[in-house]
Amino acid sequence: MSISAHNLVWGVRHKTIVADVSLSVAPGETLGLIGPNGSGKSSLLRLLAGLKQPLSGRVEILGQDIARVPRRTLARQVAFVQQNAATDTNVSVRDVVRLGRTPHRSALSGWSAADEAVVSAALERVDMTGHRAQAWQTLSGGERQRVHIARALAQSPQVMFLDEPTNHLDIHHQIEILRMVRDLDLTSIVALHDLNLAAMFCDRIVVLKAGAVVDCGTPDAVLTETLLRDVFRVNAEVCAGPIPCQTHIRFKAA
């Protein structure tokens, strides 16, 4: 297993936010994480990436207990794309993507041709090469998101966590980014709101409700009309497509 979580519990005073979550993701798999607002998706991703310490339970990534791995070692293997990262510093797009090389560079090593190649390739993948000299502050929301994904790619990770990466993106780039994540040779967990996109691009889906896993499986197994009503409180019609992974959800007004 690339990622496995065992009985993760996390919360704040008087409130459990992640309740006994266990899951595992195979190498190369793309796992979708869905659930209503406040169901604990972001919190769970932070626990999995080692950015928060669980109250109990443990996470293994590539066979190592992440609580025992130094931060820098972990950052060479695991990248995290935050939901909304912002800064007031006047940095250029290239500077931001270069930050992705941080865990691979020692304090005194210079900027190598290999580093530059990784950064260029990452910018190219998210279609932002033309913006490399632009100030980050002046980018649109969707462009910022793509730059952050490029930065995560520049970390050359084997495991990637993405927290609602398609927010702010136009439909073309939503599909492009998710296709890229799926086709990349890495294991990823993606929190998503768009259930149809989750159905299209995820190998498996985990459904969270109030911090607990409600269901887990392939999109057509998980995305049923009953589940949508119970978890998301919507009435919907689920049409199984002619080919697998073409499950389509049509929401009804009442």
Partner 1 sequence: MSIADDKEAGAGWLAIFLGLALIVLAVAVALAAAIGDYSIGVGTVFLAVTNGLGLTAADIPPIEQSVVWDLRLSRALVAALAGAGLAICGAILQALLRNALAEPFVLGVSAGASTGAVAVIVLGIGAGSVSLSMGAFAGAFAAFAMVALLSNGATSGPNHTILAGVAASQLFNALTSYIVTTSGNAQQARDVMFWLLGSFGGVRWPDFQLLVVVVFVGLAICLLMSRSLDAFTFGDEDAAALGVPVARIRLILFGVTAMITATIVSMVGTIGFVGLVVPHAARYVVGPMHLRLLPACAAVGAIFLVLADIASRVVAEQQTIPIGVVTAMVGVPFFAIILYRARPQQ
Ligand X SMILES: Nc1ncnc2c1ncn2[C@@H]1O[C@H](COP(=O)(O)OP(=O)(O)O)[C@@H](O)[C@H]1O
DSSP 169-232: --HHHHHHHHHHHHHSSSEEEEE-S-HHHHHHH-SEEEEEETTEEEEEE-HHHH--HHHHHHHH
Residue 17 or 93 having the CB closest to ligand X: 17
| Residue 158 in tokens | 């084997």
Is 243 one of the binding residues for ligand X (CB under 6 A)? Answer: no
Q: Which of 162, 174, 78, 167 is nearest to 126 (CA)?
A: 174
What does residue 50 show for φ and ψ, rounded to 5 degrees? 80, 15
Task: Measure the CA–CA gap between 210 and 190, rounded to whole angstroms.
Answer: 18
Decide: 9 and 15 in contact? Cβ < 8 Å. Answer: no
Decide: 218 and 203 in contact? Cβ < 8 Å. Answer: yes
Residue 110 or 242 having the CB closest to partner 1: 110
* 236 three-state secondary structure: strand
Smallest gap from Cβ 72 to partner 1, in A, equals 4
| Site pattern 29..58 for partner 1 (x: CB under 8 A) | -----------------x--x-x-------
Smallest gap from Cβ 208 to ligand X, in A, equals 7
Strands 159-163 and 30-34: unpaired
Decide: 154 and 142 in contact? Cβ < 8 Å. Answer: no
Smallest gap from Cβ 7 to ligand X, in A, equals 18
Of the residues 9, 99, 216, 236, which one makes contact with partner 1 according to CB under 8 A: 99
| Site pattern 115..154 for partner 1 (x: CB under 8 A) | ------------------x-x-x-----------------
Of the residues 2, 42, 145, 188, which one makes contact with Mg ion according to CB under 5 A: 42
Smallest gap from Cβ 163 to Mg ion, in A, equals 6
Residue 91 binding: pick among partner 1, Mg ion, ligand X, none (C-beta 5-8 Å cut-off by kind): partner 1
Subset of 36-95 contacting ligand X (CB under 6 A)? 37-43
What does residue 110 show for φ and ψ, rounded to 5 degrees? -80, -175
Q: Which of 227, 230, 214, 105 is nearest to 249 (CA)?
A: 227
Smallest gap from Cβ 42 to ligand X, in A, equals 3
Smallest gap from Cβ 58 to partner 1, in A, equals 18
Contacting positions for Mg ion (CB under 5 A): 42
Contacting positions for partner 1 (CB under 8 A): 46, 49, 51, 70-76, 79-80, 82, 85-92, 95-96, 99-100, 102-103, 105, 107-108, 133, 135, 137, 155
Contacting positions for ligand X (CB under 6 A): 12, 17, 35, 37-43
